[in-house]
């Protein structure tokens, strides 16, 4: 029984990582209607920027805010320079563009900061949280920040003009334009916000997994899985999806005899696909009605 | 193409004309890739893809040979170092090695990295009789001169290191409950085999594997703690080793932790994991750690630092791959020197199997490279060490971890 | 408002563009010239170039298979490396453990992969777009882990992989191993290429394309959408499996590390660069994924990944529709020349 609680708690702690990343995934999906394979690498790069700022003596929170601003601007810049020209190209060509971006960011980070792992500070400390050794104060802080971002995003998309305009631009670009939404800039804005959220995710994840150019490779797979499980159109779904994936993966690894530990990721992915077969839009996503 | 033994008559004649000393009488022998002016060395390593962290080894070696060339080369010949990217993919490794041998016409393929890539090219190179020299992997299978006379290893095998830990534990903690966390690939599996062989069935191990694609291994540590084990053998690569050390401390698991040599770097593993969490850690080493303060004034390491300053200033001293590349390159330089003017592939293998008590600058005091016609495992010695304060304390004898074939 | 008006043309394109079936192939004359070039070239180049060309054809077959799935039936897959691995391991295990002749292992590899693809296609039926991409992505991520499973180790060699004997030319033909395997691969590529062209021109091919262009309309016209979609998955997987089997024979080694997600991504890039839906482009795309990393590396070792990314961006900026676009432009220019 103790093992079960332990694994569930450890799963929630890891799930927070996935949830963070999944939020960034949902954000970009809301803006551009597909997934950005370079998202994890962009988050990693942002994290390195904040690390570099701190190396130069900038205090943690200033570095944090500066990084958010840089990432936001960087996201917009990438969209304007690289993906706006591809707006008329087929979707698959855009996906190839994400892969190219992935390769560029990863390689530049490797050359600039080397591949040795780096310690990344946390503002929350890493003492046991509420007496449980399984969740540290950092992980609790991470869950807290994720929930805050979730609430923020929810309010943004439900109640602000610009948030509503973004949703409209992604879902029905033509109709959105008719009511006066500048869809092109909405996409750029979406890139900026996704990039900034990714930066927060990276900064929260780095103290756990250590900072290095490949730190997001594994995380992104889980982030996608979590976002898809929860429903790509729902930030709440993405966060819940993250925790579910984290917990389920641990339980599969611990309790499925024989192959459980060796195959915990495939088993978790298989479960997600099974869920999708029955709920094609994810657990919390809206079903899409196709028009002829 | 068998080893085309070209005696460059013209070159020899010119040489005989220039030098009237006895060296001119010694016959010069060359295979493809060697001339009076140049020795062409082929190399593959992942510069791109998920294992690109190892690309540093290639860059270090390139810088090392630049230093050799600036100092006049080896026996008057410059080294031309041709290094290609195999992206850690076996099919790509085959393509690049064939390009090196058939198009660039290199004399040897030196220090190719990774067990899968080396397995993929081994048959080809042995059929072509091209030396597969000092492979950069610790699998035990490279020491097989009978079946693969053109393949030779360099670093201690993973299995022999595993045996050393097993022997230590049987002696010092015979009643320990031992947990093993290993990476589910050739590296982890080979180590595990060494451990099991070392225990000779006298201890039951609690085994737990993880995949490199996992973002964190926290849950494995939680699971292993729950087994009540009091020893953790961590057969992990640097990032995961640091995570394991940190997590074990966070959840207050006070097991004796042994960390594999690949992850024993002070600067790039223990410091990020936290020195306070690393106290009492055990490992074994064959090379000096550039980030360990005890070697700052060591003559060998001073040479190494001087090399870094001049030829590879962007190289990260904390990165153990830099130390590795330096040592491997120095070993190659040594055997090329030993070859003299007989730069045939056969003679290179002969000299590589004829190293006696050779000590590159970066190896621990007492660790020596010895090879023979039946022993293709250059470095076989390791010394146990314990982490204290901010450095490793070596203890016990230098142990030979020979693995019989 | 003016900006919005300008952007009115940026209508979100359909997932996969409609390519008319006539535009999917090359003209007879061009095809024959290329074939003749392919037959003669090995006589004049070094063995390793022959080996590279063989690899281009093998990857070309795999990209072609993806093209049938995506360009033909409009389904997207990032999991082709899984079927490629399945084919490669089937061939390798049969050759090494059961002493089956290498040529005979290929149809078996194809059948095994076809079966796996068909079965995978069943549940995948309910998924489309991004969800299908994730499902296939999951398959690609899972495959190396499955190959490493300890209870399969006896056959697969586990993490160490399997070394395969490279076959010699039969009937005492005066050809080296590399040249023989080149012609062997060329024959198979040709057969698969012609077969695929005919498939897309057949009743099934038209059914695929109707699904690609509009699933609901296709179903209204009486096309059994479910049946044809799974069939497309199966056929694509089967052909990929044959490519995998060939690669096991030519590379003479299989290991889990050969078939990671990176392979699936490379095959996908090959399809985009070659032009989605244009079958001859598959081989252009295959050449891209083999040679461009080499070029990138020769420009900068430390930044080879970045250089590759930049080159890829250049290609998709200049020709967003891949090699197909180049071919169309070339054709139009030729047409103009003829008229003059």
Please report the pLDDT score of residue C213 as a whole number: 82
Determine contact: C252 vs chain B, CB below 8 A. yes
Q: Is residue B2 in some structural domain? A: no
Tell me the residue range of the domain where C82 lies. 22-339
Please report the pLDDT score of residue B403 as a whole number: 57
Q: Is residue C46 in some structural domain? A: yes
The CA distance from B160 to B400, in Å, is 8
Q: Is C47's CB within 8 Å of B98's CB?
A: yes
Tokens of A122: 């946390």
Looking at the structure of chain B, the number of domains it has is 2
Q: Which of A199-208, B361-370, C155-164 has the lowest mean pLDDT?
A: C155-164
Q: Among B59, B101, B119, whose Cβ lies nearest the Cβ of C163?
A: B119
Higher pLDDT among residues B352 and A233, named by residue: B352
Determine contact: B158 vs chain C, CB below 8 A. no
Q: Is residue C16 in some structural domain? A: no
Q: What tens digit of pLDDT does each residue of C79-103 get?
A: 899 999 999 999 999 998 888 888 8
End-to-end Cα spacing for chain C: 46
Determine contact: B186 vs chain C, CB below 8 A. yes
Please report the pLDDT score of residue C22 as a whole number: 56
Higher pLDDT among residues A50 and B296, named by residue: A50
Please report the pLDDT score of residue C109 as a whole number: 94
The CA distance from A276 to the nearest CA of chain B, in Å, is 23
The CA distance from B316 to A213, in Å, is 15
Q: Is residue C136 in some structural domain? A: yes
Residues B350-374, mean pLDDT to the nearest whole number: 90
Give one DSSP letter per residue of B312-336, joined into a string.
-TTS-TT-HHHHHHHHHHHHHHHHH
B65 and B149 belong to one structural domain: yes
Share of chain B above pLDDT 70, in %: 92
Higher pLDDT among residues B292 and B279, named by residue: B279
What is the rounded average pLDDT for all residues in chain A?
86
Please report the pLDDT score of residue C336 as a whole number: 79
Q: Among C145, C252, C293, whose Cβ lies nearest the Cβ of B87?
A: C293
Question: Which residues in C lie closer than 8 A to residue B99 (C-beta atoms)?
Answer: 48
Residues B209-216, mean pLDDT to the nearest whole number: 86
What is the rounded average pLDDT for all residues in chain C?
84
Most confident region among A163-172, A236-245, C144-153 by mean pLDDT: A236-245
Q: Is residue A269 in some structural domain? A: no
Please report the pLDDT score of residue C19 as a whole number: 63
B200 and B229 belong to one structural domain: yes
Please report the pLDDT score of residue A289 as a whole number: 53
Q: Is C48's CB within 8 Å of B59's CB?
A: no
- Reported as a pLDDT band with limits 50, 70 and 90, residue C146 is confident
Q: Is C272's CB within 8 Å of A174's CB?
A: no
* Best of C288, C316, C323 to mutate (most A CBs within 10 Å, chain A): C316
Determine contact: B209 vs chain C, CB below 8 A. no
Q: Is residue B281 in some structural domain? A: yes
* Helix residue ranges per DSSP H, A114-209: 137-159, 161-171, 173-178, 183-209
The CA distance from B49 to the nearest CA of chain C, in Å, is 7
B274 and B200 belong to one structural domain: yes
Q: Is residue C17 in some structural domain? A: no
- Reported as a pLDDT band with limits 50, 70 and 90, residue B26 is low
Give one DSSP letter per residue of C204-248, joined into a string.
HHHHHHHHHH-HHHHHHTT--HHHHHHHHHHHHHHHHHHHHHHHH
Q: Is residue B128 in some structural domain? A: yes
Q: Is residue A35 in some structural domain? A: yes
Please report the pLDDT score of residue C80 as a whole number: 93
- B 234-253 near A (Cβ less than 8 A): 238-239, 242-243, 250-252
Token look-up 């592939």 returns: B345
* Cα dihedral sign, A234-A238-A243-A244: positive
- Reported as a pLDDT band with limits 50, 70 and 90, residue A1 is low
B57 and B133 belong to one structural domain: yes
Tell me the residue range of the domain where B310 lies. 9-156+297-374
Question: Which residues in B lie closer than 8 A to residue C253 (C-beta atoms)?
Answer: 90, 94, 119-120, 123
> What is the domain-level CATH number for residue B197?
3.40.50.2300
Asked if B126 and C75 touch (Cβ cutoff 8 Å), the reply is no
Q: Which chains touch C (3 or more CB pairs under 8 A)?
A: A, B
The CA distance from A182 to the nearest CA of chain B, in Å, is 39
Tell me the residue range of the domain where A179 lies. 15-216
Please report the pLDDT score of residue C161 as a whole number: 84
Contacts of C203 (CB under 8 A, 6+ apart): none
Q: For residue C206, is pLDDT > 60?
A: yes
Please report the pLDDT score of residue C13 as a whole number: 41
Q: Which of A221-225, B18-22, C292-296 has the lowest mean pLDDT?
A: B18-22
B74 and B191 belong to one structural domain: no
- Reported as a pLDDT band with limits 50, 70 and 90, residue A163 is confident
Residues C131-150, mean pLDDT to the nearest whole number: 85
The CA distance from B302 to B296, in Å, is 7
The CA distance from B185 to the nearest CA of chain C, in Å, is 5
The CA distance from B334 to B359, in Å, is 10
Looking at the structure of chain C, the number of domains it has is 1
Q: For residue B236, is pLDDT > 50?
A: yes
Q: Is A184's CB within 8 Å of C3's CB?
A: yes
Select from A44, A19, A10 the least CA-distant residue to A210: A44
- Reported as a pLDDT band with limits 50, 70 and 90, residue B318 is confident
Q: Is residue A251 in some structural domain? A: no
* Best of C1, C2, C5, C10 to mutate (most A CBs within 10 Å, chain A): C10
Q: Is residue A88 in some structural domain? A: yes
Q: For residue C25, is pLDDT > 70?
A: no
- Reported as a pLDDT band with limits 50, 70 and 90, residue B11 is very low
- Tell me the whole-structure pTM to 2 decimals: 0.88
Asked if B24 and B16 touch (Cβ cutoff 8 Å), the reply is yes
What's the longest Cα–Cα distance across chain C?
76
Please report the pLDDT score of residue B293 as a whole number: 84
- The distance of Cα B119 from the centroid of its chain, to the nearest Å, equals 16
- Reported as a pLDDT band with limits 50, 70 and 90, residue C131 is confident
Q: Is residue B4 in some structural domain? A: no
B167 and B270 belong to one structural domain: yes
Q: What tens digit of pLDDT does each residue of B139-150 get?
A: 888 889 999 999
* Best of A25, A94, A104, A245 to mutate (most C CBs within 10 Å, chain C): A104
Please report the pLDDT score of residue A287 as a whole number: 62
B45 and B96 belong to one structural domain: yes
**List of long-range contacts for B330-334, beta carbons under 8 Å, 24+ apart:** B330/B64, B330/B360, B330/B361, B330/B362, B331/B134, B331/B154, B331/B355, B331/B358, B331/B360, B331/B369, B331/B378, B332/B41, B332/B110, B332/B111, B332/B133, B332/B134, B333/B64, B333/B65, B333/B68, B333/B74, B333/B79, B334/B358, B334/B360
Element (H, E) at B81: strand B78-85
B129 and B182 belong to one structural domain: no
- Reported as a pLDDT band with limits 50, 70 and 90, residue B344 is very high
Q: For residue B316, is pLDDT > 50?
A: yes
Please report the pLDDT score of residue C11 as a whole number: 35
Q: For residue B4, is pLDDT > 80?
A: no
- Reported as a pLDDT band with limits 50, 70 and 90, residue A80 is very high
B150 and B168 belong to one structural domain: no
Question: Which residues in B lie closer than 8 A to residue C297 (C-beta atoms)?
Answer: 47-48, 84-85
- Reported as a pLDDT band with limits 50, 70 and 90, residue B21 is very low
Q: For residue C6, is pLDDT > 90?
A: no
Q: Is residue C205 in some structural domain? A: yes
- Reported as a pLDDT band with limits 50, 70 and 90, residue A197 is very high
Looking at the structure of chain A, the number of domains it has is 1
Q: For residue C185, is pLDDT > 80?
A: yes
Q: For residue B7, is pLDDT > 50?
A: no
Please report the pLDDT score of residue C200 as a whole number: 85
B207 and B267 belong to one structural domain: yes
Please report the pLDDT score of residue C321 as a whole number: 85
The CA distance from A106 to the nearest CA of chain B, in Å, is 9
- Reported as a pLDDT band with limits 50, 70 and 90, residue B165 is very high
The CA distance from B96 to the nearest CA of chain C, in Å, is 9
Question: Which residues in A lie closer than 8 A to residue C3 (C-beta atoms)?
Answer: 182, 184-185
Q: Is residue C219 in some structural domain? A: yes
> How large is the C-alpha radius of gyration of chain C?
21
């Amino acid at each position: 029984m103790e093992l079960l609680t332990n694994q569930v708690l450890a799963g929630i702690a890891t799930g927070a990582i996935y949830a963070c990343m999944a939020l960034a995934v949902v954000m970009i999906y809301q803006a551009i209607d597909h997934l950005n394979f370079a998202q994890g690498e962009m988050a990693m790069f942002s994290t390195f920027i904040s690390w570099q700022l701190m190396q130069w003596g900038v205090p943690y929170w200033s570095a944090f805010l500066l990084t958010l601003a840089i990432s936001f601007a960087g996201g917009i810049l990438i969209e304007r320079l690289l993906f706006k020209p591809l707006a008329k190209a087929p979707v698959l060509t855009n996906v190839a563009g994400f892969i190219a971006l992935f390769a560029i960011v990863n390689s530049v980070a490797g050359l600039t900061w080397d591949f040795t792992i780096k310690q990344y500070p946390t503002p929350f400390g890493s003492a046991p949280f509420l007496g449980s050794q399984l969740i540290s104060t950092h992980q609790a802080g991470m869950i807290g920040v994720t929930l805050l971002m979730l609430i923020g995003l929810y309010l943004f998309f439900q109640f602000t003009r610009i948030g509503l305009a973004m949703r409209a631009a992604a879902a029905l670009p033509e109709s959105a334009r008719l009511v006066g939404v500048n869809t092109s800039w909405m996409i750029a804005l979406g890139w900026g916000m996704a990039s900034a959220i990714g930066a927060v995710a990276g900064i929260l994840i780095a103290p756990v997994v250590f900072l290095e150019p490949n730190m997001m490779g594994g995380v992104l797979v889980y982030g996608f899985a979590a976002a898809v499980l929860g429903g790509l159109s729902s930030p709440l779904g993405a966060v819940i999806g993250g925790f579910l994936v984290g917990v389920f993966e641990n339980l599969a690894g611990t309790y499925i005899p024989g192959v459980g530990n060796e195959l915990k990721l495939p088993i978790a992915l298989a479960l997600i696909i099974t869920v999708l077969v029955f709920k094609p839009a994810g657990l919390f996503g809206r079903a899409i009605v196709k028009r002829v | 193409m068998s080893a085309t033994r070209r005696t460059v008559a013209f070159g020899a004649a010119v040489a005989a004309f220039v030098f009237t000393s006895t060296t001119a009488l010694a016959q010069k022998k060359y295979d493809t890739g060697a001339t009076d002016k140049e020795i062409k060395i082929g190399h593959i390593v992942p510069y791109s893809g998920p294992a690109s962290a190892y690309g540093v080894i290639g860059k270090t070696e390139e810088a090392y040979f630049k230093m050799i060339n600036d100092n006049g080369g080896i026996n008057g010949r410059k080294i031309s170092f041709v290094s290609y990217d195999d992206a850690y993919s076996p099919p790509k490794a085959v393509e690049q090695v064939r390009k090196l041998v058939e198009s660039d016409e290199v004399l040897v393929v030196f220090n190719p990295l990774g067990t899968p890539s080396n397995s993929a090219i081994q048959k080809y190179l042995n059929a072509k009789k091209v030396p597969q020299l000092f492979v950069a992997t610790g699998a035990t299978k490279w020491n097989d001169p009978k079946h693969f006379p053109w393949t030779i290893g360099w670093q201690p095998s993973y299995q022999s290191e595993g045996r050393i830990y097993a022997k230590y534990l049987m002696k010092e903690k015979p009643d320990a409950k031992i947990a093993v966390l290993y990476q589910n690939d050739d590296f982890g599996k080979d180590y595990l085999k060494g451990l099991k062989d070392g225990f000779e069935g006298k201890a039951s191990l609690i085994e737990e594997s993880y995949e490199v694609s996992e973002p964190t291994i926290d849950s494995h540590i939680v699971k292993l703690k729950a087994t009540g084990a009091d020893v953790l053998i961590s057969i992990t690569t640097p990032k995961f080793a640091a995570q394991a050390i940190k997590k074990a401390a966070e959840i207050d698991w006070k097991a004796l932790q042994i960390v594999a040599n690949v992850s024993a770097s002070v600067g790039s593993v223990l410091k990020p994991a936290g020195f306070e969490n690393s106290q009492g850690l055990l490992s074994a080493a064959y090379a000096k750690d550039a980030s360990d303060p005890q070697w700052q004034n060591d003559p060998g390491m001073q040479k190494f630092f001087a090399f870094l300053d001049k030829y590879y200033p962007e190289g990260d001293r904390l990165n153990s791959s830099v130390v590795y590349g330096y040592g491997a390159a120095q070993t190659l330089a040594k055997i090329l020197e030993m070859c003299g003017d007989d730069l045939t592939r056969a003679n290179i293998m002969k000299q590589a199997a004829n190293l006696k008590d050779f000590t590159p600058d970066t190896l621990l005091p007492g660790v020596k490279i010895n090879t023979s016609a039946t022993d293709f495992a250059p470095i076989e010695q390791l010394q146990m060490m314990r982490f204290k304060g901010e450095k490793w304390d070596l203890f016990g004898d230098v142990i030979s971890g020979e693995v019989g074939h | 408002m003016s900006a919005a008006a300008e952007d009115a043309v940026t209508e979100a394109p359909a997932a996969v563009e409609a390519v008319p079936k006539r535009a999917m192939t090359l003209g007879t004359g061009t095809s024959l010239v290329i074939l003749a070039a392919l037959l003669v070239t090995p006589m004049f180049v070094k063995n390793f170039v022959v080996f590279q060309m063989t690899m281009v054809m093998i990857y070309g077959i795999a990209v072609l298979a993806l093209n049938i799935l995506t360009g033909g039936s409009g389904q997207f897959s990032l999991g082709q490396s899984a079927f490629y691995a399945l084919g490669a391991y089937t061939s390798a295990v049969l050759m090494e453990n059961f002493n089956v002749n290498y040529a005979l292992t290929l149809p078996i590899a194809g059948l095994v992969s076809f079966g796996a693809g068909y079965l995978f296609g069943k549940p995948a039926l309910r998924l489309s777009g991004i969800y299908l991409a994730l499902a296939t992505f999951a398959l690609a991520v899972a495959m190396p882990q499955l190959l490493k499973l300890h209870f399969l180790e006896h056959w697969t060699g586990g993490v160490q992989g399997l070394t395969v004997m490279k076959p010699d030319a039969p009937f005492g033909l005066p050809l080296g191993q590399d040249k023989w395997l080149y012609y062997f691969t060329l024959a198979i590529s040709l057969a698969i290429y012609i077969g695929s062209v005919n498939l897309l021109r057949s009743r099934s091919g038209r059914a695929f394309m109707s699904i690609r262009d509009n699933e609901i309309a296709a179903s209204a016209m009486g096309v059994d959408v479910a049946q044809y979609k799974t069939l497309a998955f199966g056929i694509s997987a089967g052909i990929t499996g044959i490519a995998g089997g060939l690669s096991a024979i030519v590379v003479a080694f299989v290991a889990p590390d050969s078939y990671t997600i990176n392979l699936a991504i490379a095959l996908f890039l090959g399809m985009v660069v070659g032009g989605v839906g244009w079958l001859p482009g598959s081989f252009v795309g295959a050449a891209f994924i083999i040679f461009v990393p080499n070029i990138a590396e020769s420009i900068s070792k430390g930044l080879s990944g970045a250089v590759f990314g930049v080159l890829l961006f250049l290609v998709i900026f200049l020709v967003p529709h891949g090699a197909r676009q180049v071919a169309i432009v070339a054709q139009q220019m030729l047409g103009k020349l003829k008229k003059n």
